[in-house]
Amino acid sequence: MTATIKLISPVDGRVYAERRCADATQIEQALTAAATAQAQWKRRPLSERAAFCSAVVDAMLAMKTDIVRELAWQMGRPVQFGAGELRGFEERARHMIAIAPEALAAIEPTPVSGFRRHIQRDPLGTVLVIAPWNYPYLTAVNTIIPALMAGNSVILKHASQTLLVGERFAEAMANANLPAGLFHNLLLDHRQTTDIIGSGRVQQVNFTGSVGAGEAMETAATGRFLGVGLELGGKDPAYVRADANLEHAVENLVDGSFFNSGQSCCAIERIYVDKTIYPAFIERFAALTRQYVLGNPLDEATTLGPLVTPAAADFVRGQIAEALAQGATALIEPTAFPVDEPGSAYLAPQVLIDVTHQMSVMREESFGPVVGIMPVEGDDEAIALMNDSEFGLSASIWTQDLAAAERLGNEIDTGTVFMNRCDYLDPALAWTGVKNSGRGVTLSRLGYEHLTRAKSFHLRHEI
């Protein structure tokens, strides 16, 4: 019997949507159609692919009003911030379309008399995109649009928590008149997903999610010689130097810690502050945190919505309780946020001081609205603590010294180094991680290298 997926809304705990998983026939039809359509699509001029992909972006943006409310119901983001994800969606998609001619252009080695030599970028075939719920449009578009631009077909398996997002992608593709068979949105369970990966009928898998699920992706791909791109967890640090612009650092780090209720792989989860400005920093940081309005994300006044599930909120509550039992001090009084109750998805933001790296809240990914802040003696101690993690997705340095930021950035084990900003993906730069934060690259021209294969031409025309 085909399984049924129920989308439980974090807003009120009720079933918001219910769908059946794809059955074996639908999966077979999708895989076959994707391979057939891709064989023709790759022959289309790049300009034609770009026109179709641009139309997809336009079609998605036309649904903005409905999408913003759907996001609030599906994963709890306040409606006043919902449109921001679509702005990011457009920025990334348009950029990847614009750079495709250069990124996919043939490489011409130094000419040799009597020979015509070049390296072209060929599409891989069918790309399976496994997208998460926390930034459901942004994470998916990182691969979908460049995969299509490179001449691939795409199968999207979206998180069950945001299953309507997959449907919106399919609707945008249809409204853009994308050739039939090139894009498929499939609602799959875990077994079906791993079966597709191990089938030999997809040539690239791009996954965003937990470390454990990433390990499952690699296991399913064993022996199939396909590419596996993994964006996994994060425990992203920030270092505030003594010369930092204090107001700017506080404002942006509060936002970087608590935007999307902290449910971002590149959210700020631990902060190290030079001891000379530490007292002023934590005072201002806590004061600004207290200004959040926790509540129903459909309310325009809400600035902090619920976590995706009550279980996710209780996990963070457990981290906080454990840290307090080990000597940490909480700067935010939860009673100031009445809807924060045990067992509820609604969780007040929390700022912890007197923390150490022996505490879970400073080592394990929280994925919620909590941040620990420690004073440091200077650069050396800050770098040592920033690197004391199994993760390495992004890190930020807050200083007015560009040379110092570059020097320190070279010492941090991370995929992206920020100076005076955080929690942002620049589509012109490679999005990647080290250690348990993953492998592979999306965005930038390097993202195209993971969606294509090199094919060399060595043509001797003088004999």
Catalytic positions are 231
| CA 241 – CA 334 distance, rounded (Å) | 30
The structure tokens 């107001």 sit at: 247
Nearest one of 259, 348, 253, 367 to 295, comparing CA atoms: 348
Longest C-alpha distance within the chain, in Å?
Answer: 85
Q: Which two tokens stand for residue 243?
A: 């010369």
- Sign of the CA dihedral 93, 98, 101, 102? negative
In three-state form (DSSP H/G/I as H, E/B as E, the rest C), the secondary structure along the chain is CCCEEEEECCCCCCEEEEEECCCHHHHHHHHHHHHHHHHHHCCCCHHHHHHHHHHHHHHHHCCHHHHHHHHHHHHCCCHHHHHHHHHHHHHHHHHHHHHHHHHCCCECCCCCCCEEEEEEEEECCEEEEEECCCCHHHHHHHHHHHHHHCCCEEEEEECHHHHHHHHHHHHHHHHCCCCCCCEEECCCCHHHHHHHHCCCCCCEEEEECCHHHHHHHHHHHCCCCCEEEEECCCCEEEEECCCCCHHHHHHHHHHHHHHHHHCCCCCEEEEEEECCCHHHHHHHHHHHHCCCCECCCCCCCCCECCCCCHHHHHHHHHHHHHHHHCCCEECCCHHHCCCCCCCCCCCCCEEEECCCCCCHHHCCCCCCCEEEEEEECCHHHHHHHHHCCCEECEEEEECCCHHHHHHHHCCCCCCEEEECCCCCCCCCCCECCEECCEECCECHHHHHHCCEEEEEEEEECCC
Burial classification of residue 14, based on how many CB atoms lie within 10 Å of its CB (0-12 exposed, 13-18 middle, 19 or more buried): exposed
Q: How many CB atoms lie within 10 A of CB 377?
A: 10
